[in-house]
Structure formats: structure tokens, C-alpha cells
Homo-oligomer: A and B are copies of this chain.
Amino acid sequence: MSQPKDTSGSKSGSESGSQSAAAEAAATAEMTMPPSVQAGAMTHAIFRVARLHRMLAAQLLRRVGLHPGQELVMMQLWDLGPQRQADLVRLLGSDAATMTRTIRRLEHAGFVRRHPCATDRRAFIIEPTTASLALRRQVEEVWAELESSVADSLTPDQQTEAIDALTRIERSLAHATTRHASAEQ
């Protein structure tokens, strides 16, 4: 319904940067969202925050030569030392197949090394290289910058409130997810 006949005349003429176009649209789209999207206020808010957050994280990580997701693997290795792939999968809640490819790319980039486990010939031990130690500082800087981008314009009270809200939402989602997984099929 409400078919806009003038499909050709719809420019707004504000396209400035190619990279910020998506963020711009996501930021300004909150007002122009159609009714069926407005129905889920929380859902839509989570969508937008997640997208902006992921976009910013990718943008910052690209400066240090990492793709989103790879930094989490490196953090686990830096903090907990050499581990098997299965341990990384379990800690990050990732997929074994995704981990295989991520590890391979990190190995090819020279950030991790892998050698077969002595006691279990199925397993591989993944360990960070000494070359990755320089990366660690950069990643921590990125992490800090990301955190400040989220929290800087919030008062301490608002930060506490935000974390509380996110924690509650997470619990709610976790409950729903496990419920769905166990209920159906």
C-alpha cells in the first residue's frame, strides 16, 4: 500500500562518505522506520546498537590488521596460554569449523603457531607467537577505544544502568534460547 509513484525522485543528496553512509542511515533511520519494524522496540534497538558496534569494531580492528572475531581468539591465547582448538571453541562459544579457518588465517598471518598435541593425536595445540605480543598492545588500545566510544558520552550512573539493562536482556535471551533449543525437536 501507499505505493510511491515517484520512485525516481527520492534522493536526499546527503551522501558524503562512502564508509559512513551505512552508519548514517542506521543512525537516522530510527525515525523513518515503518510500523512493522517499530512494533519491536527492543529488538530494533538491539539490532541498531549491534550493527553500529560491530561496524566500529571492524573499523578499529582493520587498522591493526585483524578481522572481527580474530581478536577474541588472540585474547584467549594471550590470557590463558596455548590451548587446543576445542578449548577455544568452548570458551568463545564459536563453531569448530569457523575456528579451523580462523586459526588457519591467524597462522598464515604469523600470529599463532600450531603443533600436534603429544597426548591426543586428534588435537592441535594453538599458541601465540612472540610476534603477536606487539599486536597485544594495539588490540588493547582498540578495545579501550571501543569501550570509550560506547561509554564516553554516558555518566557513570548511566553506564551502570546500561550494564544492568544489558545483563538483564542477556539473561532473558539466554533463557529464551535454551528454552527454544530444548523445546522444539
Does A172 contact B143, Cβ atoms closer than 8 Å? no
Copies in the complex: 2
Instruction: List the B side residues contacting A43 at CB < 8 Å.
Output: 53, 57, 143, 146-147, 150
Given the known interface contacts A75-B37, A146-B40, the answer about A178 and B26 at a Cβ–Cβ threshold of 8 Å is no
Does A174 contact B91, Cβ atoms closer than 8 Å? no
List residues of A (53-105) whose CB comes within 8 Å of B's CBs: 53-57, 59-60, 72, 75-76, 78-84, 86-87, 90-95
Q: Does A180 contact B (CB under 8 A)?
A: yes
Given the known interface contacts A25-B90, A49-B166, the answer about A84 and B7 at a Cβ–Cβ threshold of 8 Å is yes
Given the known interface contacts A144-B39, A181-B23, A182-B16, the answer about A81 and B173 at a Cβ–Cβ threshold of 8 Å is no
Does A1 contact B81, Cβ atoms closer than 8 Å? yes
Q: Indicate with 1 or 0, residue by residue over A126-158, a CB within 8 angstroms of chain B CB atoms.
A: 000000000010011001101101111110001
A62 to chain B, nearest CB (A): 11
Interface residues on A, range: 35 or more
Cα–Cα, bound, A109→B158 (Å) = 45
A28 to chain B, nearest CB (A): 9
A18 to chain B, nearest CB (A): 9
Instruction: List the B side residues contacting A17 at CB < 8 Å.
Output: 181-182
Cα–Cα, bound, A48→B91 (Å) = 13
A-B pairs, top 4 by smallest CB distance, nearest first, are A34-B79, A25-B93, A50-B50, A20-B181
Give chain A's interface residues, CB within 8 Å of chain B.
1-4, 7-8, 10, 12, 16-17, 19-27, 29-30, 32, 34-37, 39-43, 45-57, 59-60, 72, 75-76, 78-84, 86-87, 90-95, 117, 119-120, 123, 125, 136, 139-140, 143-144, 146-147, 149-154, 158-159, 161-178, 180-182
